Every structure is written in C-alpha cells, then in structure tokens.
Amino acid sequence: MSQIALPLGWPADPRDDGFLVTPSNARAAHGLEHWGAWPVMTALLTGPRKSGRSLLARIFAAKSGGSVVDDAERHDEAELFHAWNDAQAQRRPLVIVAEAMPPAWEVALPDLRSRLAASPHFSIEAPDDALMRGLLAHLFARRGLDARPDLIEWLATRTERSHLAILRVVDLLEQDVVERRKRLSIPLARHVLAEAGIVTGSPSVGSSD
C-alpha cells in the first residue's frame, strides 16, 4: 500500500493550509525545518509551479523568524546579492525560492552565482504516488466536493505526474459538477477528462486498473 501523505511535522502558520509531506518533498521540508544546521544563513528552495514551494517557505518564515524571497528569477540580481549578505550579517535565515538552480536559472552577476553555489539547496520533486492521492483528496475537500476513494485512486493512476496537472484535473471536475449539478464519479471524470484530452482512461505505467 502506498504511503499516506502526512501533515508537516512542525506547526504551520495557522493562516495556511497544511503542507503534505511525502518522499517527493520530505528532504526539502526537513532541510527548512532544520535551518540551524545550514552552513550559511541562506538556502535555495526549488520546485515546479504549484508544488507548494511558496507555502513551505512561508511556513519556514513563520516558525524561524526568517525571511523569504519568492520568484527569485524575477528579482534584481543586486538586490538578491545584498539580501544574501544581509542574512549572514544579521544571522537571520533567508530562503530564496526559484523554479530551478543555476545554470537553468541564468544568473549574470558572478558574486551572486558564487553565493548561491555556497548555499544549501533543497528541491521539491514531481509528486509521488502518495502525494498524488493526498493532493487530490485535499483539493477536492477544500472545494467541498465529495471525492470517494475509488475516484481518487482512478485519477491518481491516470493523471500526469505534475502539480499543475493535478490542479487542472480538480478545476475541470469542479466546473463540470457545479455546472451540471452532478455527483463526482469515475464515469463523469472519464468523460470530462477525455474531452479535455487529459486522460485516455488507461492507467499510467506501473498502475493497475
């Protein structure tokens, strides 16, 4: 049986939803929780869009008293350089959140590149089986939709392994349920998602029907 997604072990900011921890993101969660062990006072957190990277960074800031620079690729490089230096001078931990590490993230300023290279890096990976199921159940519940375990299992084995794909599946099914006033079910999901070209009705490799 797949591992069940569990809430983050250290308390989150009460204004935020829980962050689901599974093997695909456990190292990142552990690394930010134990910021006192960092070799420098700045770390990089990377992950794909909608992976929970910003939420995890906010939880870190709320619990550590540290600071966060989100979407770092869009920030001025000189400002990032000074933020890195300030974190060391003030002994206040800083998390820089980006989609990818250099060189995928093109950093022109040599001094910033060297400081980023000296910083610990924690990565959120593509969702594993446990997170696929956990996120689907969590998102449906947040929207007040009754998604039965058999539907969650059916979707988890047929949805592309990406956080964006999971979100799109939930969005499409919510829209159809609201518009047609129907109950969530596997036949409904098969019809809606096949029309959208998201699933073919066949399970992904390694899954059973």
User: Does 129 have pLDDT greater than 80?
Assistant: yes
Give the pLDDT confidence score for residue 125 in this predicted structure: 95
- CA distances for 45 relative to 17, 55, 86, angstroms: 19, 11, 18
Which residues make up the CATH 3.40.50.300 domain(s) of the chain?
A: 6-123
What superfamily in CATH does domain 6-123 come from? Answer: P-loop containing nucleotide triphosphate hydrolases (3.40.50.300)
| SS3 assignment, position 7 | strand
What are residue 14's phi and psi, to 5 degrees? -60, -15
Taking the model in full, what pTM does it have?
Answer: 0.83
pLDDT at residue 55 in the model: 92
Q: Kindly state the average pLDDT of the residues 161-178.
A: 94
Q: What is the pLDDT of residue 85?
A: 98
Contact call for residues 159 and 192 (beta carbons, < 8 A):
no
Give me the mean pLDDT over the 116-129 stretch: 96
> For the structural domain made of 129-195, what CATH number should be given?
1.10.8
The token pair at 172 is 């499409």
- pLDDT at residue 1 is higher than 70: no
